[in-house]
Amino acid sequence: MKTIAVLCGRYLPGYKDGGPVRTLINLTDCFGERYRFKVITNDRDHGDTEPYPNIKYDAPNYVRNAEVWYLQPGGFSKNAILKSVADADLIYVFGPFNDYAYKTMWLKKIGKIRQPVYVASMGSFSHGAFQIKNKKKQLFIKACKLFGIFKKIIWSVTSNIEKEDVQRTIGQNANCIIAEDLPRKVDHLEFKCKESDRLKVIFLSRICKKKNLSFALEILKKVQCKVDFDIFGNIEDKAYWDKCKTIINDLPDNVNTNYVGIADSNKVIELFSNYDVFLFPTLGENYGHVIFEALAGGCIPIISDQTPWNDLETNNCGIAIPLTQEELFVKGIEKIADLKKNDLIEMKQCANQYAQNKYRQSVANSGYKKIFD
């Protein structure tokens, strides 16, 4: 059995990082009996000052289908990385900009690491995502190119779009393999619309610039239909949340808004099934697990076109819209609000069926098999 060493910022029982944690959970759930996954990660969740309870250090913690090694703050030293990956056949790194990532890439460059090193770009080079802290990222890229750090790295991307993003930033010679993220398993659901003239809309993601909640709120300023808008997510950027609260205070009377808190990651699909629309004008997603989970729950995504999910409208289960077309977001929401009850139920069922089909295709054709084998 091959050993895959995975270096990442957070893993279970953490949940605040959202998609990256879900990506790894789904990966180990699907292939954990085929490969030995050795996950090296931080000992606490994003922003927490205390470690997870009841964990062991310098010893494996068996979490679902993975062997997890937790490191204390500052624990990703070069020596610790070398020690952790010594028994691995392959090294898989989540994201390019973290300390463990550039240290691993440097160790590969100077020949201390001999195994293949794959770096998941994690949507880091999409236009929207790359604009956040742009100067620091550009300096990092220039330094890595100068020292030839990327030359021995293989990039794991989830789509041709992400491959183009990587090659535009790193260079056309960047070696990329497409391995679409694996979704979680989907059950068939039956949907009934509640007796109400109010459209139930949800935002569920980390609250930070990249996820673009402020844009969603600006859209809701302009809708004429009655909307109940619930916001779920970890407040990662407090200054940005303050900006959002200012917009919330300026919303019209036809829009009721409520910040609910952090959703239980194990019950996300069930949560989505209680809503009609998932409003998510994200600046960029390399995959977007939360979009898949909305579909699985029969919640209609109205999202930006900065994700791989741009075929929703042709499958009668959502809309993907350019961020420059704010009026189309408004029209999309009002179109769903105007649907007859049976038409809305049909659209919810299409969304769930789309998710079921996507799960089967993803597992059968997974590019991860090509990487790991």
Please indicate, yes or no, whether residues 168 and 19 belong to a single structural domain of this protein: yes
Nearest residue to 321 via CA among 224, 168, 244, 216: 216
Residues 21, 114, single domain; the answer is yes
Mean pLDDT in order along the chain per 10 residues (373 residues): 95 85 89 94 92 94 94 94 96 92 94 95 74 77 87 91 89 90 77 77 96 98 97 96 97 97 89 96 90 95 94 96 97 96 94 92 86 90
The verdict on residue 208 lying in a domain is yes
The reply to whether 154 falls in a domain is yes
The pair of three-digit structure tokens given for residue 348, joined into one six-digit string: 């919810």
Q: Would 62 be classed as within a structural domain?
A: yes
pLDDT tens per residue across span 66-114: 999 999 999 999 999 999 999 999 999 998 888 999 999 999 999 999 9
Range of the domain at 252: 199-359
Q: What's the CA dihedral at 272, 268, 332, 256 to 10 degrees?
A: 70
CATH number, domain containing residue 127: 3.40.50.2000
Q: With beta carbons less than 8 A apart as the criterion, state whether 355 and 295 touch.
A: yes
Query: Would residue 136 count as lying in a domain?
Result: yes
The answer to whether residues 141 and 204 belong to one domain is no
Looking at the structure of the chain, the number of domains it has is 2
Report yes or no on 286 lying in a domain: yes
- DSSP label of 364: H
What are the start-end ranges of the E strands in the chain? 3-7, 36-42, 61-63, 66-71, 90-94, 117-120, 154-157, 175-178, 199-204, 227-232, 255-261, 277-280, 300-304, 319-321
In a domain? residue 273: yes
pLDDT for 195? 64
- Residue 373, judged by CB atoms within 10 A of its CB (0-12, 13-18, 19+), counts as exposed
223 with 90, same domain: the answer is: no
Claim to verify: residue 133 and residue 255 sit in the same structural domain: no
Q: Choose the final residue of a domain: 120, 150, 179.
A: 179
Query: 177: which strand partners?
Result: 156
* Residue 20 and residue 162 in one domain: yes
Please say whether the beta carbons of 86 and 1 come within 8 A: no
Is residue 368 in some structural domain? no
Does pTM surpass 0.75?
Answer: no
Q: Residue 247 region, left (φ>0) first, then alpha (ψ -120 to 50), else beta?
A: alpha
